[in-house]
Structure 1
Amino acid sequence: MRLADRRLSLLLASASLLAACASTPAVQTVAPPPAAVAAAPAPAEPVPVTSLVKEVTIPHEKFVLDNGLTVLVHEDRKAPVVGVSMWYNVGSKDEPKGETGFAHLFEHLMFNGTENLPGDYFTYLQQIGATDLNGTTSFDRTNYFETVPTGALERALFMESDRMGHLLGAVTQGVLDNQRGVVQNEKRQGDNRPGGLVFYKVLETLFPVGHPYHHSTIGSMADLDAASLNSVANWFRDKYGPNNAVLVLAGDIDAATARPLVEKYFGSIPRGPVNNVAQAAVPTLAAPQSVVMKDNVATTSVSRYWPTPGLLDAQLVALDVGGSVLGGLASSRLDEVLVRNEKLATQVSAGLYAFQRVGIFTVSATVKPGIDPAVVEKRLDELVADFIAKGPSEDEVRRASVTEVGGRIRGLEQVGGFGGKAVTLAEGQTFAGDSDWYAKNLATYASVTPTDIRQAMGQWLTKPALALRLEPGARPPYEEAKSVTVKGGKKVNKNARAAQPGPKRELPPVGSLSALDFPDVTIVRLSNGVELQYAQRNAVPVTQLALSFDAGDAADAPNGRGLQSMVMSMLDEGTTTLSSQKVAEAEERLGASIETGSSLDRSSVTLSALSANLTPSLALLGDIIKNPAFDPAELERVRTQRLTAIAQIKKEPNGIAQRVLPALLFGDNHPYATLAGGDAAATERFTRDELVGFKDAWLRPDRMKIFVVSDRPLAEIQPLIEAEFGKWATPSVPAGIKQFTAPPARPTHARIVLVNRPDSPQSVISGGQITPADPRNNIEALQSANDVLGGNFLSRINMDLREARGWSYGVRGSAQLSEKAVPYVINAPVQADRTGDSIKALNDDFAAFLGKKGVTGEELSRTIANRVNALPGQYETSGAVLSAMMSNDLFGRPTNYQETLAAKYRSYTAASLDQAIRGAIDPNGFIWVVVGDAAKVKPQLDKLGIPVEVIEAR
């Protein structure tokens, strides 16, 4: 686990990838390069980590308002957007007894309108085309962030200042009750997952009662039930003053422009009490603790946990790199021994969770079926002890450090979001009082030594640990909320307010907004005819490349579901010259990321390379795709891992639904009737010859296209790719052919398929139908109309089940585009006692919207504004551009497609959107899959008048 990947984010909201079609492509077709430039490049050594660290720089200016608000401004003119990130120095560690979960509850309340902006904040953010927008809470801080078009920055600052200084007058008892219910459903959603109760036990055991990290950020049901208007108002007044906050603006802005705007909107907010954030010592267990927990898991896992120092400790980097070497990297010690060599475990991990005051170091292993867990525990302890005694090698430390620094370089292409430049600056200022903390931290990664790591591991991992074993079995009774266990109760005034509203403030207008400038795409061909599509983005020194094959899950035979994904997972498990261990080590040494993946229609191998290491990274990629060994011993190991993963998917509620719904929609023999994870019976019998045969039939140059986004020019990139792939010959065996058949007719009456999952505090509702929509013909109208119905936070179904009723943490409906079909699928996790009511509400919402209550004028205005204004932010990064290029190719769109979207969106009317969605979705055509406790749920479903069939998980 790498520190850069650990941001403890509890919420996720991102704008969906937009689609539409249009006119003349901004594309240049170029002939193959002359033979001379196809010569193999000279071998290249990886760039030292010390050189890579110099690439990570975020120049910025800092100023502090009279009221104590700290402001950081970083100028980045690559796109006409600004990342706005507001960090409050308050988290769950600051909560007193009886008020657990308050910091996170307030994160929700601060999205529910202010004195001058009534209603949901997402309404106003969507009107200005904000992207990467959300809020998160951790033990140590609460943050809000959005990336906005430059012309909308002043309005975004007004909005952030209004919820800082003008919130309480808008917090009513009704708002509090509703968001309490939403948070409790968020808690149920996490708790409902297999192993979802483990972290509570870890915190309770490692940190004594009264310790700031003893309780989780989500809080307890009882404390959430007890939250009153008065208590939450006092919490806000004490914690959310400007002097406890850091505001970061990163992007198309400079400090001279930003300062008067920040002073205008934040300057009048008075200081609040100083939040003396909780101090917390690192505790030591009096003696080793051993805990056995049972849950709805497929196989046993064993773990060890130690309390350690936190983010600001001098040993942070040593512990983090030590965790990567031990069990975080693909080449880690635990992987090599327990998974690859001794085959005692199917999965391992190790790493440091670093919080502000303390940390938790953990090692874990998922026990291979048929192996005694005690044997794995003993071996795990021996390997940890050996690592502590001997420490890592120089090469291991270098690989871990390069991997960390490479991840930081990639992350800093983005100005906002969960992990971009704004977050990096805010984190250092909030936790260390130093906005340049990131640079000093990375310098330590470049200089950490094996001795540093051995000493740190020896100091902290020789102390008493918590040994936790999670076994298959019945979990203990669930702690429910009073709103579920106790019906009725005293009447309350839903209109009561936490405070009286203050003077009215005027919302500033939005300035001029820039149109999207999508990079020009150049198409060339390699010597063997393979098409290469290239675009340049130079914000970071990184090259993103994808080899896309016309295969995907649809290439599987009906009796061989999972063969394609198994082949893809075997590609980097060793080549004819490199073992799987050596492949992993080479990737890490280069700071590269090579991943295999698939969709319904395409199989892909992607490379994210530091451009300085591009030549050797391409050589490694070429070896992986052209020369996979499919070693029989590795095949058996991967087979066991996949069978274990399938068994676990069949325990997870969303996984169960994903395995059941496709066959119900398409029929068992259709190429799109996929099984998430694959068919266990088929996976057990796949032979090496079948894997080789699939690769030769599908993963071959005549079925491949290459997509590249790089900071380096095409003249430099093309010869390197030509040298690696230009002479790759097509095998003599025939290419594979997908066998598409017509899916069953859409039902004329709804049906429900109930999958029994006992003791589930939530039910997962997944509904679907196949639409007649064509993914290549005006699909944008359907997608735009669905923004109103189910496609984003403000959609009708989410606002009903989450914001109005408080029965769910989030509900979505989406038109899922594939090459040959467009199914419409709904996902709605809901509290168990409201399962039947939720299906009824969804049916009512669809019937109304597809009947007489279609798109309103306000919904049309908001949707079109959001889709048009969000375009520059959606394609800010090279990864987003690469994904768009591949999508354009899949659906036969011109390469300038994204630049034509704004005009198309502006042409829509409420009537045209109504027509598009009503022609696609039948409110009576849904097949509903419900995964939940049948004893609690079936009586509710029986009252709906819809046929109910009870089945077992597939």
Structure 2
Amino acid sequence: MRLAIPALLFASALSPLSAAPPSTKPAPLSVLADQVKLPYEQFTLANGLRVVVSTDRKAPVVGVSVWYHAGSKDEPAGKTGFAHLFEHLMFNGSENAPGDFFKPLESVGATDYNGTTSFDRTNFFETVPTGALPLALFLESDRMGHLLGAVGQETLDRQRGVVQNEKRQDDNQPYGLVQYAEQQALFPDGHPYQHTTIGSMADLDHASLADVREWFRGHYGPNNAVLVLSGDIDAATARPLVEKYFGDIPRGPQPLPTMASVPTLKARKDETIHDQVATTRLYRQWAVPGLTDPDSVPLDIAASVLGGLASSRLDNALVRKEHLAVSVSANVEPMERVGEFEVQVDVRPGVDPKLVGQRLDAIIADLIATGPTADEIQRAVTQEIAGRIFGLEKVGGFSGRAAVLAQGAVYANDPGFYEKQLKQYANETPASVKAALQKWLTRPVYALTVAPGARAPYEEAKAVQEAEKPIHGATEVAASGAAPATGPKRIAPPVGDIAALTYPAIARATLSNGLKLVYAQRTGLPLTRLAITFDGGFAADPKGKLGTATLMLSLLDEGTPTRGSADIASEQEHLGSRIAAGGSMDRSEIDLAVLTPNLAPGMDLLADVTLHPTFAEIDRVRGEQLAGIESEMSDPEGLASRTLPGLIYGPGHPYGVPASGSGDPAAVTKLTKADLVAFKDRWLRPSDTSIFIVSDLPLGVLRSMLESRFGAWKNIGPAGAASTDSPLPAPKPRIVLLDRPGSPQSVIQAGEVLGANGTDELLPLIAANDALGGSFLSRLNMDIRETKAWSYGVQAGISRYAGRVPYLISAPVQTDKTGASIQAMLGDIKAFLTTQPLTDTERERTVERNIRQLPGSFETGTELLDAMQRNDLLRRPDDYYTHIADKYRALTTDELNTVARRDIRPNDLVWVVVGDAAKVKPQLDTLGLPVEVVKAPAAQ
């Protein structure tokens, strides 16, 4: 898979800003930048393993991150995709920890656990309760030093199939083939970055057991790895633990660093490809320097100014003023040796793409010639710093503090690289950014156009001669031995005491106009999050006007009597804040995330967009929503999720609408400003609205600030009445096949409406389903993905609506196994409900995992805010999570089986399949269910 290097989200020591009172002006950039610190200690074992430790005692959890300096750029010719394939193999058990790696992690309540591969590294990470740290270190060390004895031909074949289905799943998405065109165009033959991380089907097919063992021995030794521990741990405690588990692993061969220069095209390269997409998309790309090059930062700032900020030049020109595009973006993807500067524009339907391309090139040329303004740089850097401060809350995961330290150690030989880079951001000037632009973006550009049309036939495997082009700089490393080094048996350590969840006290207050406040204090970082929440969700859309809620919400920050759309975007960027409005099936919300020192002006802006929207940009934003609907219908997963709700709820039910809320294009076309004002007045009312708050400030201060801005707000007209009690159609089990010719994979979704409401206590059903389809180790996923290797992943579960809840299944599968996958899933479900019920072991695993995960489940303010809103929607007490562990412990195996048999009815499922009917329908006709074939919308 092609994965960008994680964004640098920085952790810090406690900041003096946390005590600063809210001001009426943005805090100075220099003040914000100076606060971002991440103290750490490091040591190196005799075998070369570098260990970095950063202490943060806010929660009894530790983020564990292991980075191997081996990625796809290090793969020799004929072995593309090996690094990513090995990422998968390393999750399938080691010599002393057989079986799936997720099983012991789930049992101890790990959160944020996974692994990823990029061009430059392979990383594994998990956040575990402090008492489970020895076990996590045992597991990571066993797959580092004792893996190969557990990797046999059967495991290799299974994971090869899973990886190939991951590739098909990515390729099946709209614009999914762009990555191959990009790498081939930007990098010449033999360049280490020319092939994608997922590799070629041919190379994956040809990977032998000897090949993968050779690859492992050459790249996964301790001397080619960095281990980072962040959280409830210190270096004095960590060192003996790391020595115990990693110290006996012998050094591996020292891989030679794969070097690569930044290539320059000989001339501008224009190319057009066709895909099943709704919107023509234009790309402009250059190869640029890598992460540690001094020009990487000014180029990143330039990308923000061009198309990364909400008030970027491309947004203001192409989207807001000239109405030539429905969306734009620009970013730099920094890798170790090189980077990619990419600009992307989705052309507004009906507009000539050539005209848009000319304007795009002119705007880029103007920025190169004149450079950005000081104000543009200030906004870009403020947003950068604010994003990094919000990232302080995570100790581990994909991009938390452990990953940041590891990235610096691996790529820059300096765990503190982030701090040096942040200072560079704060010191960039218009002249320095202009110089970087003129140095790198005056070189020939790769200009790609992706136009709607028939996609070229999908190639399951490339020709061997293409797969074996020599790759310069990537060399084979001699294996250290001919056979797996099994060694003496190692015993997994017991799990120590795991702290119980400490859920914060929730306080409530009311403003003078009846507006309700629900508050939790989270100290340590100067951050405030607000969510103005009301009942007007997608289910509240009038039946003839589906999409009203989404269009109304989209327009809130697009203009007020005193601020235009660009003004609102620019003001947010000056504050380092984010205002976003969005909806779900039952509710909508308007969110503010802001650094607490900038809370006062941030709250001024929030009040203005909430109370005084003009809806002046309705025609432009309507066009963007219509383009989004077209994109949904060109995406196989989006098309399935638009189709299924109406089949199981019926078109007349409030929940029988597209799950995205984007609505019906015919209705959206006719919506007027009066429709939007009426919807807003009916649902967004102080008497029926709550503001949920997580902040380091006390409630009294916040209440006063909110009273001054929202206290005079009054109800207008009659209130909306939320009701989801409409009658449901009788179940009509069948298969609806949406014909999408040429699809390399089939997307399967299935659903039924259960008898329960979301406001019922559904914990027993959710726990029972955990073993069936709700976790990685569930029976459905382990069968279809891990045993049969027909899919990259299968899941099943409940969407937690307030009214009658749906049970939904999602399974993208390879085309030739579509019918067999449905048959297998039905068999698995029926066996679970009859002959092979949930076992005591599965019950224990589910209960232990959910209880032990609790201390790490509310690390961020966003997670806490979501929990508070969820409790309110489902009419649960504010302290629900304080008692949830006891609820889990009380569950019995018999109770879980009884609930599952009562509620899940596999014979009532309606199946939606998006795939190539010519290849799929003969398979479906053997299943004994009626099959209805519907032609999927064609690309325009």
TM-score range, shorter chain: over 0.9
Question: In the TM superposition, what is the alpha-carbon distance from 1:720 to its structure 2 partner?
Answer: 1.1
Select the residue among 365, 368, 382 that pairs with 2:348: 368
Q: Is 1:329 aligned to 2:309, yes or no?
A: yes
Question: Quick one: distance in 2 between partners of 1:674 and 1:461?
Answer: 46
1:45-76 CA distance string (max 9 Å, x none)? 10111111122111111111111101111111
Question: In the TM superposition, what is the alpha-carbon distance from 1:8 to its structure 2 partner?
Answer: 5.8
Q: Where do residues 465-544 of structure 1 align in structure 2 (5 Å cutoff)?
A: 465-481=445-461, 499=484, 501-544=486-529
Partner of 1:701 in structure 2?
A: 686
8 A Cα contact 1:414 1:420, kept in partner: yes
Question: In the TM superposition, what is the alpha-carbon distance from 1:900 to its structure 2 partner?
Answer: 0.6
Question: In the TM superposition, what is the alpha-carbon distance from 1:43 to its structure 2 partner?
Answer: 6.6
1:268-295 CA distance string (max 9 Å, x none)? 0011111222111000111111111000
Q: Is 1:7 aligned to 2:17, yes or no?
A: no
1:548 alignment partner AA: T
1:381 alignment partner AA: D
1:129 alignment partner AA: G
8 A Cα contact 2:200 2:462, kept in partner: no
Q: Where do residues 519-598 of structure 1 align in structure 2 (5 Å cutoff)?
A: 519-598=504-583
8 A Cα contact 1:90 1:277, kept in partner: no
Question: Quick one: distance in 1 between partners of 2:33 and 2:349?
Answer: 43
Structure 2 counterpart SS, 1:619: helix
Select the residue among 400, 424, 431 that pairs with 2:411: 431
Partner of 1:27 in structure 2?
A: none
8 A Cα contact 2:654 2:726, kept in partner: no
8 A Cα contact 1:89 1:275, kept in partner: no
Question: Quick one: distance in 1 between partners of 2:195 and 2:238?
Answer: 39
8 A Cα contact 1:169 1:502, kept in partner: no
Q: Where do residues 125-204 of structure 1 align in structure 2 (5 Å cutoff)?
A: 125-204=105-184
Q: Is 1:319 aligned to 2:306, yes or no?
A: no
Give aligned pairs, total: 902
2:5 alignment partner AA: R
Structure 2 counterpart SS, 1:362: strand
8 A Cα contact 1:751 1:926, kept in partner: yes
1:222 alignment partner AA: A
Q: Where do residues 272-283 of structure 1 align in structure 2 (5 Å cutoff)?
A: 272-283=252-263
8 A Cα contact 1:7 1:419, kept in partner: no
1:524-551 CA distance string (max 9 Å, x none)? 1111111101111123211011000111
Return closer, same or farther for 1:288/1:892 CA change in 2, 3 Å cut-off: same
Structure 2 counterpart SS, 1:887: helix
1:314-373 CA distance string (max 9 Å, x none)? 011100000000011110000100111111111111121111110111112111111111
Q: Where do residues 347-746 of structure 1 align in structure 2 (5 Å cutoff)?
A: 347-481=327-461, 499=484, 501-631=486-616, 634-675=617-658, 676=660, 677-731=662-716, 733-745=717-729
Question: Quick one: distance in 1 between partners of 2:625 and 2:270?
Answer: 29
Question: Quick one: distance in 2 between partners of 1:54 and 1:953?
Answer: 54
8 A Cα contact 1:172 1:498, kept in partner: no
8 A Cα contact 1:66 1:267, kept in partner: yes
8 A Cα contact 1:230 1:498, kept in partner: no
Question: Quick one: distance in 2 between partners of 1:574 and 1:471?
Answer: 32
Question: Quick one: distance in 1 between partners of 2:353 and 2:858?
Answer: 48
Question: Quick one: distance in 1 between partners of 2:512 and 2:738?
Answer: 53
1:108-144 CA distance string (max 9 Å, x none)? 0000000011110111101100000000000011100
Question: In the TM superposition, what is the alpha-carbon distance from 1:741 to its structure 2 partner?
Answer: 4.0
Structure 1 counterpart SS, 2:164: helix
Question: In the TM superposition, what is the alpha-carbon distance from 1:750 to its structure 2 partner?
Answer: 2.9
1:211-230 CA distance string (max 9 Å, x none)? 01000000000000001100
Question: Quick one: distance in 1 between partners of 2:588 and 2:745?
Answer: 34
Q: Give the TM-score taking structure 1 as reference length.
A: 0.93
Q: Is 1:53 aligned to 2:21, yes or no?
A: no
Question: Quick one: distance in 1 between partners of 2:696 and 2:234?
Answer: 24
8 A Cα contact 2:759 2:803, kept in partner: no
Return closer, same or farther for 1:689/1:742 CA change in 2, 3 Å cut-off: closer
**Where in structure 2 are there 5+ consecutive unaligned residues?**
8-20, 464-481
2:664 alignment partner AA: D
Partner of 1:887 in structure 2?
A: 870
Choose 81-90 or 910-919, whichever is displaced more: 910-919
Q: Is 1:901 aligned to 2:884, yes or no?
A: yes
Question: Quick one: distance in 2 between partners of 1:914 and 1:380?
Answer: 60
Structure 2 counterpart SS, 1:412: helix
Partner of 2:468 in structure 1?
A: none
Question: In the TM superposition, what is the alpha-carbon distance from 1:700 to its structure 2 partner?
Answer: 1.8
2:784 alignment partner AA: L
1:466-514 CA distance string (max 9 Å, x none)? 111111111111111599xxxxxxxxxxxxx973633210110000110
Question: In the TM superposition, what is the alpha-carbon distance from 1:712 to its structure 2 partner?
Answer: 1.6
Q: Give the TM-score taking structure 2 as reference length.
A: 0.95
8 A Cα contact 1:184 1:481, kept in partner: no
Question: In the TM superposition, what is the alpha-carbon distance from 1:852 to its structure 2 partner?
Answer: 2.1
Question: Quick one: distance in 2 between partners of 1:286 and 1:565?
Answer: 46
8 A Cα contact 1:115 1:502, kept in partner: no
**Where in structure 1 are there 5+ consecutive unaligned residues?**
10-40, 484-496
Structure 2 counterpart SS, 1:650: helix
1:744-791 CA distance string (max 9 Å, x none)? 3552x6311111111001000000001112323331111111110000
Q: Percent identity?
A: 54
Choose 130-139 or 524-533, whichever is displaced more: 524-533
Question: In the TM superposition, what is the alpha-carbon distance from 1:952 to its structure 2 partner?
Answer: 3.5
Choose 911-920 or 397-406, whichever is displaced more: 911-920
Partner of 1:825 in structure 2?
A: 808
8 A Cα contact 1:665 1:927, kept in partner: yes
2:647 alignment partner AA: L
Question: Quick one: distance in 2 between partners of 1:609 and 1:133?
Answer: 28
1:582-626 CA distance string (max 9 Å, x none)? 000000000001111111111101111100100000000000100
Structure 2 counterpart SS, 1:629: coil
1:780 alignment partner AA: L
Partner of 1:22 in structure 2?
A: none
Structure 1 counterpart SS, 2:628: helix
Question: Quick one: distance in 2 between partners of 1:904 and 1:808?
Answer: 34
Partner of 2:842 in structure 1?
A: 859
8 A Cα contact 1:300 1:367, kept in partner: yes
Structure 1 counterpart SS, 2:751: strand
2:775 alignment partner AA: N
RMSD of aligned Cα (Å): 1.5
1:281 alignment partner AA: S
Structure 2 counterpart SS, 1:860: helix
8 A Cα contact 2:650 2:729, kept in partner: no
2:737 alignment partner AA: L
Q: Where do residues 228-247 of structure 1 align in structure 2 (5 Å cutoff)?
A: 228-247=208-227
Question: In the TM superposition, what is the alpha-carbon distance from 1:909 to its structure 2 partner?
Answer: 1.4
8 A Cα contact 1:746 1:769, kept in partner: no
Question: Quick one: distance in 2 between partners of 1:934 and 1:266?
Answer: 53
Structure 2 counterpart SS, 1:79: coil
Q: Where do residues 62-141 of structure 1 align in structure 2 (5 Å cutoff)?
A: 62-141=42-121
Question: In the TM superposition, what is the alpha-carbon distance from 1:420 to its structure 2 partner?
Answer: 0.8
Question: In the TM superposition, what is the alpha-carbon distance from 1:701 to its structure 2 partner?
Answer: 1.0
